[in-house]
């Protein structure tokens, strides 16, 4: 069993290790099947709004199912010392932040969620372009593809983009759209200089994932 990668929003280091150029889903701990009925959350999410962004909004018939905090790594590989790193996916542990954000409305709630809340699922890639969210309380795996993106506000070039992810035919869950916002870290180094070809680079990151269905 591999270790889970845990980093804070204030110290998100770059790690390197020799590995194949794919990142297996077994690289993060598999969690037990969840029984929580997220389609009927124990708090009112109707007034909860995403942070301001330019991504296409949810459709009028879509409602917020869940807000999850993701804590993990964005993963890259190097093919040569003269080329920039290539992204090969990400892995993260997911925590339910819905009611905490609905009640406090504060981004400062994130640290307490990590410390006091059990994980509800995992996020991984089946290949370099196919993200999966394994949150069984949503009815099965949420398999998505990138539909839109925007530069993360604030620290330019230091945080991975904000994304709109749309479900694919392979998806099993109730979620139709997933928004990745409030990202911290995860950006690859500018070059592979000094890095052996085939090495996987893992860069710590955090993000909020908003699920609509």
pLDDT score at 35? 38
pLDDT for residue 18 is more than 70: no
Region of poorest pLDDT, from 20-24, 86-90, 205-209? 20-24
- Give the span between the Cα atoms of 46 and 32, in whole angstroms: 29
Q: Are 53 and 103 in contact (CB under 8 A)?
A: no
pLDDT at 83: 92
Interatomic CA distance for residues 29 and 159, integer angstroms = 25
Q: 207 vs 47, 153, 169, 201, CA distance in Å?
A: 20, 13, 25, 19
In this prediction, residue 119 carries a pLDDT of 94
The predicted-structure confidence for 19-61, as pLDDT tens digits, reads as follows 433 333 433 333 444 434 454 567 899 999 999 999 999 999 9
What percentage of the chain reaches a pLDDT higher than 70? 77
pLDDT at 153 over 70: yes
Mean pLDDT of the chain: 83
pLDDT of residue 9: 32
Cβ atoms of 166 and 147 within 8 Å: the answer is yes
């Amino acid at each position: 069993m591999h270790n889970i990668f845990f980093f804070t929003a204030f110290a998100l280091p770059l790690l390197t290790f020799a590995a194949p150029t794919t990142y297996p889903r077994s690289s993060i701990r598999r969690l037990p099947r969840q029984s929580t009925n997220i389609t009927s959350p124990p708090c009112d999410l109707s007034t909860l709004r995403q942070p301001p962004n330019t991504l296409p909004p949810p459709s009028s018939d879509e409602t917020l199912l869940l807000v999850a905090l993701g804590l993990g790594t964005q993963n890259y590989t190097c093919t040569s010392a003269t080329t920039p790193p290539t992204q090969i996916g990400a892995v993260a542990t997911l925590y339910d932040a819905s009611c905490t954000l609905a009640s406090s409305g504060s981004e400062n709630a994130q640290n307490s969620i990590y410390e006091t809340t059990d994980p509800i699922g995992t996020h991984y890639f089946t290949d370099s372009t196919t993200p999966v969210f394994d949150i069984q309380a949503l009815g099965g795996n949420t398999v998505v593809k990138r539909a839109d993106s925007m530069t993360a506000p604030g620290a330019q070039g230091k945080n991975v983009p904000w994304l709109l992810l749309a479900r694919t035919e392979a998806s099993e869950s109730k979620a139709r759209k997933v928004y990745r916002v409030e990202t911290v870290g995860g950006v690859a180094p500018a070059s592979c200089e000094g890095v052996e070809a085939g090495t996987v680079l893992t860069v710590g990151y955090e993000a909020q994932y908003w699920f609509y269905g």
